[in-house]
Amino acid sequence: MTTHIIDEERISRALTHADKSAGRVREVLAKAAELKGLNADDVATLATVSDPELIAELFDCARQVKETIYGRRLVVFAPLYISNLCRNECLYCAFRARNQEVKRRALTMEEIAQETRVLVTQGHKRVLLVAGESYPQEGFDYVLKAIEAVYAVREGNGSVRRINVNVAPLTVPEFRRLAEARLGTYQIFQETYHRETYAKVHVAGKKANYDWRLLALDRAMEAGIEDVGIGVLFGLADWRIELLALMQHAAHLEAAYGVGPHTISVPRLEPATGSDLAAHPPKPVSDLVFRKIVAILRLAVPYTGIIMSTRESPNLRRESFALGVSQISAGSRTNPGGYATDERLDEAQFCLGDHRSLDEVIRDVTSLGYIPSFCTGCYRMGRTGADFMDLAKPGLIRAHCDPNGLSTFIEYLEDYASDETRQVASPIIEQWLARMEPPVAERARAMMERVRGGERDVYC
């Protein structure tokens, strides 16, 4: 059992005895502003906030912390679904094994390459490779071959420079092989940390084993994978319990391996073909509460990238950027083959809330004063694991990320952007440069000129 990692009794005590006073809330916010994170009691206090004035102060503090650590960059990526084959019976998921309403498909290597070509011609440089928890005849080798197929694609000036992976929990030897495959981050969600709820919604298949899934990241890090991502599917259980459990999981990883999660994802339950549960979440999370979750996470683990997918609407995504989100997907498809052909709802994992193209998202993000980043510099420079955290925790990572983000954005503008997006971007770039420390701005300008002069993949 893994009760030493997720202690539900301790979570219950923290929530029951949380100090809800305005003075205590402001004390926690002052602590959060120091960028050193929060403990369980602090998070429990913030989870109780309902007064509009205190919510506004919570959001303001989250904005300040986000700006200090990450600035106004938003890392952009796309999910790449290679298969919807699955042996599990997860009641909220369209890919569940007994769902007859979904057509099953595992892409061939050529089809994976074609999907990649479409993404590259749109301007993507980072992908999250996703597969159902079952593979064709070759087993786990299918995933490794898919990674090779993606990295092999060259289209014009472009290619995929970083592949993150979200696949079924593996054994330590399998994780070692994954680590050798030029992996960026290994990402896996517990879905819900609440054991009783977990058992109710995972009724068959290997995923029904709570402990096997929870310990997947321990096996990954033992195998040499330095960057891992965690997450919760909000809407299955009480969001306050999930939030505190996330903190316990992050604390366990840091205590055991010296490195907390590189990313935390915050998907919210959305309708899915063949799932009544997905259409009627057991514990629905409102938009306001969802924004509170993002803000609290940013204060609790200020060094961690927070990912928001296209499950959410454009408006909700816009509102979340300032509150803590630092990575977003764009132009997404959640079915195998969805980029090369029109999206088929009978093959998708869940319904999307944001159907805009990559260029539309980039233009919108830029108009809001953010710099979209396709950067993969840290991955190639060895700034991963503990080395990345040493820079991220005090906010020093911006000296690298700001120039790298601008360099990749200029590359996008030069090679892929519409004229309308280029027109929006020009004044925003100058505003962003003006906010940088002079040495960092000077480095960024030099890198941008190299890109404009024809170089590609310029990073520091």
Going through 143-261 in order, the beta strands assigned E by DSSP cover: 162-166, 183-187, 202-204, 228-231
Q: What is the mean pLDDT of residues 164-177?
A: 97
Q: Which residues pair with 163 in a beta bridge?
A: 127, 183
**What band does 1 get if pLDDT is binned at 50, 70 and 90?**
low
Cβ–Cβ < 8 Å for 340, 114: yes
Convert the pLDDT of each residue in 26-40 to its tens digit: 999 999 999 999 999
pTM of the model: 0.94
Confidence at residue 351, expressed as pLDDT on a 0 to 100 scale: 83
Cα dihedral across residues 33, 39, 43, 44: positive or negative? negative
Confidence at residue 135, expressed as pLDDT on a 0 to 100 scale: 87
Q: What are the φ and ψ backbone dihedral angles of 305, each rounded to 5 degrees?
A: -70, 130
- Report the C-alpha gap between 284 and 282 in whole angstroms: 6
Statement: residue 228 has pLDDT above 90: yes
Percent of the chain with pLDDT over 70: 94
Confidence at residue 385, expressed as pLDDT on a 0 to 100 scale: 64
Q: What are the φ and ψ backbone dihedral angles of 189, each rounded to 5 degrees?
A: -105, 140
Fold of 70-355: TIM Barrel (3.20.20)
Statement: residue 138 has pLDDT above 90: no
Going by C-alpha positions, the residue among 419, 410, 405 that lies closest to residue 449 is 410
Convert the pLDDT of each residue in 391-423 to its tens digit: 666 666 677 788 889 999 999 999 999 999 999
